[in-house]
Chain A
């Protein structure tokens, strides 16, 4: 294992005088930041649009249709480039390109750093949190619009074209967000702290991933003004090839987010493999880190097919190639395969980190070791591996050779085995436990409840006869909302409630947190469970009309959805109230966790650890009389801790910190 025991060469330390040639600390509003990024993006957009019109304005198909996809694609691409240049994301490679040695970065302080390209993984993590919440609320508002339209089968709030555009935008925004909702914010913040590192392997790449992610958000938002796209989040050809300009936003946006996902994946893999502290053996790796290793492998291996497929689609729409045009030698079926070769691993990209988070939460609030740790980790790797062999179950009704159906039915059913490993890890930890029903634990328990429903209906859906019957119906929609929202989003909020005191040093209001949880849990189930029924009764997805007899259930679902949306407003109010309007300092280790991340001072120093820690044990020795300390941090007991003291004993009397002097020889 390659371990850096020294400061990284280009990350300064707080309070230090910058070396000669180093960048001086600037006012947050001078230099490059999100504002300059927006200006440069707007300039790039205008330049690209002009170039596209100059190049293709006289093309026969452009003149005939009045729709210039070349101009749209160039505008979006140049806009993204401007966003990166304006934010400073390209300063380092551009300086290297012209033979200059870039100035070392120094620690940024104050609010301004959250609007800048920064190398501190904790700042990037907080940037990601706000960004994914923005994604989530945008997608959520579009969901409200969908449910409003479905209040009546015959009286319409939107036109049919607008409705499918809203559905497509909702699906794409949510899926883009969901790919990064944990791997970006929570993982980016926590990985170095949980493995005993001072930073990610490639800090610039991590920050680049974030700025690509936000660029993708801006790009996909342009889809609606460009006329939307009618394909849903799957972007099937030939609709893809003939759709309005919003389709260009979909293809460019997914490619941009995809590049960010790939770079994030490689960065996470490199960090986990190479930057573990001494003694952080594979068997001591937190289960959340195992889940991220599995997910990062999927990000790195599956996402390139999406980006490549998107590039083919862009070429079909601009350069008149025919990758997905059947009559001209291409195949629309090719897109389906390329998309789902990414798309199904994507499902596990979303699910696995959620299980990783609850795997961290359960032992803390049950006061028990994580049951079947190795089985759980093996399950995560097993799911990741098998996820590459199931994608064609999405095509049972879409052109697959019928003789291939049993094979993919079998592989899909097989994946329930490692999934079961992960699930049983949680159930075993809960078995006969004295549970502390704190807010993070409630979210973790809700995940298991929701995912049970989503998982079992998934087993049904993997069977060809059932799949053929309910394909394209609200039953499928309810299934994947139960797994993604019921699993991932509940885990995300559980993780936020669990780690925000560490991240911010502030305590979230418990009453508002409980109101948020119960509203979200109850109205999530009341929104989506009826949709299983309307799906079985034949209501198709993506269609704004439905049978009159299904109006009652749809109205019930819509009203529940409004209240589900209101639960997020409660969270927003809690977030703003507790962190900014009326902040209350959090105890250093409010839950009594043994996790290494909780052993650092709050706020966590720029370089995380005074000295690289030596790991002595895994973090799950809860309920033991004299548990082995988790790590030797190399500082005297009580030193180096911030607000709230050293953490000390948690509510369950567990020794929360391990500040015992020791050396590698003790490991």
Chain B
């Protein structure tokens, strides 16, 4: 099978995996709707997210402002839509970085073995012993709150998870006869890794990718809530809760709706990951 056919095969395989587990469809659907909302923010948001309607501060939901306004008279719905965008950008970019570097490091460590393996995995162990939120807190506090620094902080805590996932199957595959055959034919290490080993771990990477996306979005929201998120007046879901918390008694909509959306994003990503894992698990595959 050539490479293109192999990836095509992976595509149909993925489709079947989804079909095996209905919950992953629900997760995917929910996530797609939320992503569309974020992508189309400039078109569908009824107001500018930073535009202040000073006379209409802390207004309850109405036909003019569907989810009410916040302390500065900004439209809560528009800010939620734009806030989703920030959540998704930070969540997906940090996971993509972590997945890319983690997979390379992990599979290289597994493939090369020896001191290189011990060193890389040692560093990963150290990074993993600092909780995601604390690592984010430390890095953002030191480097300053910005979208890039948040992405760096989150990616750094997630790299070890992907390295671990990539390493074990690489070690298992390394000693398989077909990989030995490739080596005997003089294929380069990179080709062997990309073409022969990578497709084997793609499923697990997808599962972990969506689960860690959930964690990344949640952590970003938590950091914004603490006050270490992207700087105001940029709308972030966590930041909205932080600002709205002060007026929670008189205007609960300003903080409760953004929280609900964070919950929805994280839940959808977890649902997708959970469904995928069940579908990919060979032990569960043939049941039902």
B and A form one assembly:
no
